[in-house]
Amino acid sequence: METKANYVAVGAFVLACVIGLVVTIMWLAGVQYAQEYSYYQANFKGPVTGLGKGTVTRYNGIDVGRIADLKFDPNDPQSVIVLLQVQPNLNIREDSVASIDSQGLTGGTYVEISGGTSKSPLLTAKPGQKYPIIRTKQSGLLQLEQSAPEVVAKLNVAATRINDLLNDDNRRAIAHVLANLDETTAVIARRSGDIDAILKNTNEATANLNKASANFQPTLDHVDLTVNKFGNLATDADAFVNGDGLAQLSSLIGDLRRMVANLNKFSDQLNRSPTSLIFGDRRKGYDPNGK
C-alpha cells in the first residue's frame, strides 16, 4: 500500500508540473500576442540575399523588430516587397531610408533603417497603401558586388596597357634615357665649379646693373625737366599763335616792309642825284611864255 501511495504522489506532482508549464507557456504566448507592433513596407530592387522571415530589423543600429513577410512585387519582377514588424514608438520619418546591410563580409544580413531628420514629418500610409512605405537604397556591399565586374574589367585594361608600356623596346628606351640622365648628372657634378662661377658673375652683373640704374636716375630726372621745359615752351607758343601776339607780329612785319620800301626809295634817289638832297632842286621849271 505504501508503494502504491508513493506512485500516486509522484504522478500527482508530475501532473501538476506539466499543468504549470502549459499555463506558463500560454501566458507567455498571450503576452507576446497581446503586444502591439507597427508595420512598414520596404520595396527592395534586386536580390535580397540573406533576408527571410524573422530576420533582424535595426533602427540606427539597434534591434527594433523582425521581418514579418517577403514576397515578389507582382508589378515589377525585379523588386521584392518586405514587410517589417517593428516597435510602435520609433517615429520613423518620411526621409528615413531602409537598406540591406551585413555584419562584415561573413556576418549575418539584416535590414537597417536610418533615423531621418527631426524636421521631416512622420511616415504614414498614403491613400491606397496598406502600410507606410519606407524608401530604400542599395547597401554599400551590394553596390560593391554589382560594380565588381566593371572594376575587374578596368583593371584588366589597365594591366594590358601597362604590359604594352613595359615591352622590350620601351624598357630599352627607358634604360637609355636613364643612362643619359646619369651621364648628364655626372657632367653637371664635374662642372659644378664653373656653374658656381657663372652664378657669381650673374650676381655681380645684376649688382652692377642696379648701380648703373641708380646712377642713370639723375639723367632721367634731367631729361624729365627738359621735357617739361619744352612742354612749357610749346604752351607759350600755342598761346602766342592763338592770342594777340600773332596779329601784333603781322602788323610789325607790315611796318618793317613799308620802312624797307622807303629806305630803298631813298637810296635810289640818293644814287640818282645826291646833290639835290643836299642843296635842293635849283632847276627852274618850264615857262611857256619864255619868261
Average pLDDT over residues 212-235: 66
Pairing of the two strands 109-113 and 97-102: antiparallel
Q: Which residues contact 44 (CB under 8 A, 6 or more apart)?
A: 79, 80, 82, 98, 100, 136
Query: Residue ranges per domain, the chain?
Result: 36-137
Segment 75-87, tens digit of pLDDT: 898 899 999 999 9
Please answer whether residues 93 and 120 qualify as being in contact, where contact means their C-beta atoms are separated by less than 8 angstroms: yes
Does the pTM surpass 0.85? The reply is no
For residue 180, count other CB atoms closer than 10 A to its CB.
10
Residues linked to residue 43 through DSSP beta bridges, in sequence order? 81
Average pLDDT over residues 37-55: 89
Segment 157-206, tens digit of pLDDT: 887 777 777 777 777 878 888 888 888 888 777 777 777 778 888 888 88
> 119: which DSSP letter?
T
If you average pLDDT over each of 155-169, 243-257, 264-278, which comes out highest? 155-169
